[in-house]
């Protein structure tokens, strides 16, 4: 009986939804910045070298992570929300710092 209870608790922990979806990835931030500049999913996807559906998924994940809608989307246009506009400068800074950090680290080879 004890083993069954422990196994059930382990499953419950493993299956519990994450309350913190994590930090934005550099890939998500770059996708957001390119899309914010282009305001067009097709052009942004082409620049990033991904499919439009993949770009849309990247943006959805980013919005979930920051808990805000960053872009207004219709079938005809894309525009930044006020939250998206406020996120532009910090996203640029973070991506710039990550790029500088990567450039400053010497390869192990």
User: Is residue 9 assigned to a domain?
Assistant: no
The answer to whether residue 16 scores a pLDDT higher than 60 is no
User: Is residue 106 assigned to a domain?
Assistant: no
User: Is residue 62 assigned to a domain?
Assistant: yes
On whether the pTM is more than 0.85, the answer is no
SS3 73: strand
* Domain count of the fold of the chain: 1
Domain with 58 in it: what CATH number?
A: 1.10.10.10
24: Cα separation from own chain's centroid: 5
Neighbours of 47 (CB within 10 A): 16
User: Is residue 2 assigned to a domain?
Assistant: no
Structural domain range at position 53: 21-92
Tens digits of per-residue pLDDT, 20-76? Answer: 678 999 999 999 999 999 999 999 999 999 999 999 999 999 999 999 999 999 888
User: Is residue 6 assigned to a domain?
Assistant: no
C-alpha 100/C-alpha 104 separation (Å) is 6
The sign of the torsion formed by the CA atoms of 20, 54, 68, 35 equals positive
User: Is residue 32 assigned to a domain?
Assistant: yes
Which pLDDT value is given to residue 19? 55
User: Is residue 7 assigned to a domain?
Assistant: no
User: Is residue 44 assigned to a domain?
Assistant: yes
């Amino acid at each position: 009986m004890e083993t069954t209870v422990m196994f059930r608790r382990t499953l419950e922990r493993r299956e519990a939804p994450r309350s913190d979806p994590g930090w934005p990835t550099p890939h998500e931030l770059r996708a957001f910045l390119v899309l914010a500049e282009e305001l067009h999913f097709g052009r942004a996807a082409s620049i990033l070298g991904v499919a439009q559906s993949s770009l849309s998924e990247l943006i959805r994940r980013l919005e979930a992570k920051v808990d805000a809608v960053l872009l207004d989307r219709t079938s005809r246009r894309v525009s930044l929300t006020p939250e998206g506009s406020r996120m532009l400068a910090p996203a640029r800074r973070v991506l710039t710092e990550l790029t500088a950090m990567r450039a400053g680290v010497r390869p192990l080879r």
